[in-house]
Structure 1
Amino acid sequence: MKSVLSSAALLMVTSSPAFADVKAASDAGFNSVHIATVNATPEEIWKRLIVPKDYWNKAHSWSGSSAGFYIDVQAGGCFCELFQEADENGTLKTVGSVEHMRVIFALPGKVLRMQGALGPLQSEAVIGTLTVAMEPAKDNAGTRVSFSYVVGGYMRYKVPEIAPAVDKVLGEQFKSMLAPFAAAETEVPKLDSFKLDIETITEVASDETSEATPNDSASASEPPQTEPN
Structure 2
Amino acid sequence: MKSVLFPAALLAALSSPAFAEVKAASDTGFNSVHISTVNATPEEIWERLLSPKDYWNKAHSWSGSSAGFYIDAQANGCFCELFQEADENGKLKTVGSVEHMRVIFVQPGRVLRMQGALGPLQSEAVIGTLTVAMERAKDNATTRVSFSYLVGGYMRYKVSEIAPAVDKVLGEQFKNMLSPFAPAGTEIPKVDSFKLDIETIEEAASNEASEGSTAKPDEDVSASESPRMEQN
> Following superposition, which runs of at least 4 residues in structure 1 exceed 6 angstroms of deviation?
215-221
CA distance in 2, matches of 1:206, 1:103: 24
Q: Is the 8 A contact 2:42 2:110 kept in 1?
A: yes
Structure 1-normalised TM-score? 0.85
Q: Are 2:157 and 1:140 equivalent residues in the alignment?
A: no
Q: Is the 8 A contact 1:103 1:112 kept in 2?
A: yes
Percent identity between matched residues is: 81
Q: Is the 8 A contact 1:37 1:137 kept in 2?
A: no
Q: State the partner residue of 1:4.
A: none
Q: Is the 8 A contact 1:103 1:115 kept in 2?
A: yes
Q: State the partner residue of 2:114.
A: 114
Q: State the partner residue of 1:85.
A: 85
Q: Are 2:49 and 1:46 equivalent residues in the alignment?
A: no
Which ranges of structure 1 fall in alignment gaps of 5 or more residues? 1-9, 222-229
Q: Is the 8 A contact 2:32 2:149 kept in 1?
A: yes
Deviations 1:35-62 (A, max 9, x none): 0000000000000000100000000000
Q: State the partner residue of 1:176.
A: 176
Q: State the partner residue of 2:191.
A: 191
Deviations 1:106-135 (A, max 9, x none): 111000000000010000000000000001
Q: State the partner residue of 1:6.
A: none
Which ranges of structure 2 fall in alignment gaps of 5 or more residues? 1-10, 228-232
Q: State the partner residue of 1:75.
A: 75
Q: State the partner residue of 2:33.
A: 33
CA distance in 2, matches of 1:203, 1:134: 15
**What's the Cα RMSD here?**
2.3
CA distance in 1, matches of 2:97, 2:32: 27
CA distance in 2, matches of 1:46, 1:115: 18
Q: Is the 8 A contact 2:19 2:36 kept in 1?
A: yes
Structure 2-normalised TM-score? 0.84
CA gap of 1:144–1:63, structure 2 versus 1, over 3 A, is same
CA distance in 1, matches of 2:151, 2:170: 13
